[in-house]
Chains A and B, each alone.
Chain A
Amino acid sequence: MAATGDPVLEVRDLVKHFPVTQGVLARRQVGAIRAVDGVSFDLRRGETLGIVGESGCGKSTLARLLMALERPTSGSVRVGGREITRAKGAELKQVRRNIQLVMQDPYTSLNPRMTVGDIVGEPYEIHQDVLPRGRRRRRVQELLEIVGLDPDHADRYPHQFSGGQRQRIGIARGLALRPEIIVCDEPVSALDVSIQAQVVNLLGRLQQEFGLSYIFIAHDLSVVRHISDRVGVMYLGKVVELGRDADIYGRPEHPYTRALLSAVPVPDPDGRERRERIILQGDPPSPADPPSGCRFRTRCWKARDVCAQQEPPLQVRPGASHESACHFPELYPVPRPY
């Protein structure tokens, strides 16, 4: 999974506010849900960037922005050097070949009225010039084989397959255009435990085989650690910490990251009585009305006055190994890496 230098995806100051409107006749905007609020990162060739965070942190909106399924309020997304946020028509279609999506729910992400062969072959119908018509059926069968399905099942319908098999079909569809980047939005969380590992392995294998770069969005921290080279932690629309996987899991600097990691139940009962747990109080605030300054301060045990006044930027702080957005980062490693 060695990532080589040049970035294939550059995200700068990405912002998405969903307007909240009121009124029956004249709709006026009374506020905004700040789903993504200033996110920047690079993704390099062959690299996997994990994005973790809880529901409402903006990670799914981020995925849709990267896929140009939503237009951002401001900011820029460059895929292979090309700006996609303002691209339209043929230009947008061209960029889409380079970035594809694998969705969470394999039961809803495949059109139930289409055969598997038609689903996996649809990218070629849309991008007619990629592959001559006569070679498409053969190619679809190859793709099915690559993701571990029987190519002779191309004329079956999605409901004849299990969840794990359907997710493979979704992955085959994502691979069809030979993209450089695949955005995986919770790709295993809807699957049975015994199937998750199969799909994680498949994604890892495909990455090596095709030199793919992944944005791997998930709430399962152990899966993210397994597959990611770098990890970004999101809270209320912002990246609060970004670093190599070993840093994030071994030396988390942001208090939220520490709380998040310590909340994950460890699948080992030995020593559970002595395990230190940071149990956060309450729920995350609403993204429609985030706290001033640092957004985590309302639940943070280290918060002081400055946290309410000044928003901490995401940067490498003195003595730190990686970027975090906290005025008072923790600078010691955790006793036992999560």
Chain B
Amino acid sequence: MSSAAPPKGAPPKTRRARHAKASGRGARTARPAGLWRDAWHDLRRRPLFTVSAVLIAVVLVMAAVPSLFTSVDPYDAAGCVLGDARQGPSAAHWFGTDNQGCDTYARTVYGARNSVLVGLGTTVLTALAGGLLGLVAGFRGGWLDAVLSRVTEVFFAIPSVLGALLILSIFRTGTVWTVTLALAVLAWPMTFRIMRASVITARGQDYVVAARGLGASAGRLMFRHILPNAIAPLIVVSTINLGVFIAAEAGLSFLGLGVQSPDITWGLMIADARARFHEAAGPLLFPAALLSVTVLAFIMLGDAVRDALDPKLR
């Protein structure tokens, strides 16, 4: 948000602090800070944020550089020994092995990348598409808003699994990118509605009226005045959604609709391990545990961000 950045040519912090003390006409608080910086300051002191941020950081590093966590490359078929299938945890295989005799720990680590890619990709797509359309619809109102709102209602009426099935069947094969697209197509109406509602609230605020009175253009009103004040709910929901999308990807892959073998995702691993669960629980439990922890971490982060951004608590 550009408005949160210090204005160009702002004096260094020390000078501002000195003035706050020296001036009898001083403002209420000496700490110079925008609302975003206040929120960040506040966020850092929340244990919920620290815990979730650390967990998410670990998952992100795992997704980016899985070789940091394991020397085994699960995409290399030579690493799997069928004779070792469904073994319990041991020094060689921390989480045991799966039906093909592959190392469950290595596969779980490598599975993070696809899950995180789907989560991030879908979140960015929905935030951009839903956010921008919501901004324009909420600001302009009129027929554009009416049409877009009806369209989102149609999307809400489609059962999501059925919708995903339809969209993915168009592409024939499931990859990370088609799953991302399918989820984004189904989820943008949610971000649209959230953005539209908060834009409509912000649009009527006095400072927007004041800017109109100065002769501000529509672009300035939208991006300088309304967007920075309306985006907080979208950020919160997007954070939570990131976890939800990761879970959705696992669900689709589990059903065989999503990413296909030989790619590795947590959902696929769970699906593969399901049939022989009674013989070996490890190949199902470990990816499922990491999936749950990741989803939970994003939801906790979303909660922490919501509290930090809530101006009523300020």
Contacts and interface: CB of A to CB of B under 8 A. Distances in A.
Contact of B206 (A105, A117, A148, A160): A105
Contacts of B32: 155-157, 160
A92 B215 contact: yes
A108 B207 contact: yes
Interface residues of A, number: 44
Given A101-B213, A103-B210, A155-B16, A112 B23 contact: no
Contacts of A109: 206-207, 209-210
Contacts of B44: none
A149 to B, nearest CB: 7
Nearest to B10: A155
Interface residues of B, number: 41
A122 B221 CA distance: 12
Most buried by A among B1, B6, B28: B28
B7 A117 contact: yes
Contact of B229 (A112, A148, A159, A165): A112
Contacts of A97: 215
A269 to B, nearest CB: 36
Nearest to B231: A113
B28 A126 contact: no
B35 A113 contact: yes
Nearest to A67: B213
Contacts of B34: 113, 115, 157
Contact of B27 (A69, A104, A117, A160): A160
Contact of B7 (A108, A113, A118, A149): A118
Interface string B207-242: 101111111110010001100110000000000000
Interface string A116-136: 011000110111000000000
B214 A122 contact: yes
A96 B7 contact: no
Contact of B212 (A69, A153, A159, A165): A69
B4 interface: yes
A139 interface: no
B3 interface: yes
B214 A160 contact: no
A108 B311 CA distance: 13
Contact of B211 (A93, A122, A157, A161): A122
B67 interface: no
B220 A152 contact: no
B216 A126 contact: yes
A173 interface: yes
A258 to B, nearest CB: 34
Interface string B287-314: 0000000000000000000000001001
Interface string B18-37: 01000101111100111110
Given A113-B229, A157-B34, 14 more contacts: A100-B213, A111-B229, A114-B3, A122-B214, A123-B214, A126-B220, A152-B11, A153-B23, A154-B7, A156-B16, A156-B32, A159-B35, A160-B27, A173-B210
Interface of B: 1, 3-4, 6-7, 9-11, 15-16, 19, 23, 25-29, 32-36, 205-207, 209-217, 220, 224-225, 228-229, 311, 314
Interface of A: 67, 69, 92-93, 96-97, 100-101, 103-105, 108-115, 117-118, 122-123, 125-127, 137, 148-150, 152-157, 159-162, 165, 170, 173, 177
* Minimum-distance CB pairs A-B, first 4: A109-B206, A113-B228, A93-B215, A108-B206
